Amino acid sequence: MPEVRIIAKNFMDMVASMPAMKLDKLYENGFICEAILRSLPPLGKKYVLQLLHIDVPVAAKLLEEWVLPDGYTKHRVAIDRLVQLRVFVEAVDRKNDKTYKLNPTFQKSLQKLLVHGGTLPREPMPSNITVRLPTLDDLEAYALQQWECFLLQLISSSLVEKPSNISSSLMKVFQRRLLSQRDKEAPKLTESGFQFLLMETNAQLWYIIREYISNSEERGVDAADLISFMLELSFHVIGEAYNINSLTDFQRSIIRDLADLGLVKLQQGRKESWFIPTKLATNLSVSLADSSSRKEGFVVVETNFRVYAYSTSRLHCEILRLFSKVEYQLPNLIVGAITKESLYNAFENGITAEQIISFLQQNAHPRVADRTPTVPENVTDQIRLWESDLNRVEMTEAYYYDEFPSRDVFEGACDTAREWNGLLWEDSKKMHMVVKTGVHTYVREYLRSQK
């Protein structure tokens, strides 16, 4: 079964895949340089800082001497990353040796940043103009609510009472890989759609942002501008108000989309209007691996396979419905049961047992979250068992060989199949063997050469 995974990594991979011309333009912005510097592996950071004030190319051999022999692989990884991001420019000197030099644009921006300090293009607004700023807790609640509303609309537009302002064409873009629509039927979640719902908020956000950026060219927006604005946004302070008039026209046009996603909150005063970045925005430049934001969970799983979810959110209910049978719903509580049938439904939709278990663990109610195990072991084991029950029979297309003329030929054929990693079964006494279909031609060639 082919496994569909949504690759959600980070901004930097996206930056690395941009054409050189655009990259150089991006590096004119000091914040991008800082974000890049932050994202580098430790050795990479060291190299950049050491070469920061050197204007001539440095031989690759010299760089190698800086690390101990057993750090060589890390050295390679760092150098590759730097070259990939075009922070290092590779060249060959007269003696045919490889040399590295910092990208001049990047170097200039970073030097400036180091000496003058980073200043945002806009200052927070004084508090006498911006009355009734939300508290940090309010802001986080707002961001999550906005995000949830967006997700609900994404999976089924009929579920939301007040739809957000995201244009339906943009929504279609986001849905493209998560929903599949056959004519006249209601759209259905695809395999990656199901997996998407079980992902962590940051991973989901990153997926949506990635779609947003990769689709930007079709909407006539420059991807480089978009990336640089989002990275810049991630350096703003959470909860501070920034004047909307300080944005360029282009930025103003996309800030509404970002507000709908919950990245910023827009507010209006008597004369001015301003935006307030939320936690979702500032988490953007952090790579997903090291963002460990834990939300308060809401699920309690009991040993009798009952699931109690203390939640008012319809999204949570929809998610639980993916793999359990929702039995009743009270205003603040959803009660469901994990049954064999409900799980088989989930497995059919391409959700794996591990994903379900990790969802239950990550969203555990605070009352059970510090217990070990968070989810009762008999439940997790049973979920895994039911999954493996589906895979009790393994079938592989293959070829069966018998009647080998001699043991040498038989063993040679076995070795050939083994070399290609295609030997499924052998019986050396009776001289029979089974190989994968893909390896059949190699074995046949071998047998021909033996004649």
Partner 1 sequence: MVNAIKGVFISCDIPMAQYIINMNASVPASDKFIIHILDSTHMFVQPQVEQMIRSQIAKFREDNTYVKPN
Binding site for partner 1 (CB under 8 A): 339-341, 389, 392-405, 409, 413, 424-425, 427, 432, 434, 437, 440, 444, 447
Cβ closest to partner 1, residue 184 vs residue 448:
448
Minimum CB separation from partner 1 for residue 415, in Å? 15
> Measured from the CB atom, is 266 or 434 closer to partner 1?
434
Query: Nearest distance from residue 348's CB to partner 1, in Å?
Result: 10
Which positions ≥6 away from 99 have C-beta within 8 Å? 57, 58, 59, 60, 90, 91, 92, 93
Decide whether 187 or 412 has the Cβ nearer to partner 1: 412
Nearer to partner 1 by C-beta: 339 or 361? 339
Q: Nearest distance from residue 443's CB to partner 1, in Å?
A: 8
The answer to whether 240 and 44 are in contact (CB under 8 A) is no
With respect to partner 1, which residue has the nearer C-beta, 25 or 321?
321
Q: Which pair of tokens denotes residue 187?
A: 């759209």
Of the candidates 308, 266, 299, 264, the one whose C-alpha atom is nearest the C-alpha of residue 282 is 264
Instruction: Please calculate the CA angle 252-144-120 and round it to the nearest 5 degrees.
Output: 40
Closest distance to partner 1 from the beta carbon of 99 (Å):
55
Sign of the C-alpha dihedral computed for residues 26, 30, 36 and 41 taken in this order: positive
Q: How many CB atoms lie within 10 A of CB 347?
A: 18
Please, which residue, 310 or 344, has the CB nearer to partner 1? 344
Place of tokens 């599949």: 180
Closest CA to 321 of 441, 152, 444: 152
Q: Closest separation between CB of residue 399 and partner 1, Å? A: 5
Round to whole Å and give the CA distance between 215 and 174. Answer: 9
Q: Shortest approach of partner 1 to residue 284 CB, angstroms?
A: 45
- Min separation Cβ 439 and partner 1, Å: 12
Edge-to-edge strands, sheet with 264-268: 242-243, 273-277, 264-268
Nearer to partner 1, 365 or 444 (CB): 444
Q: Which is nearer to partner 1, 120 or 337 (CB)?
A: 337
Q: Dmax over Cα atoms in the chain, in whole Å?
A: 95
Q: 15: number of CA atoms within 13 Å, CB side?
A: 30
Angle at Cα 241 formed by Cα 237 and Cα 247, nearest 5°? 95
How near is the Cβ of 334 to partner 1 at its closest, in Å? 17
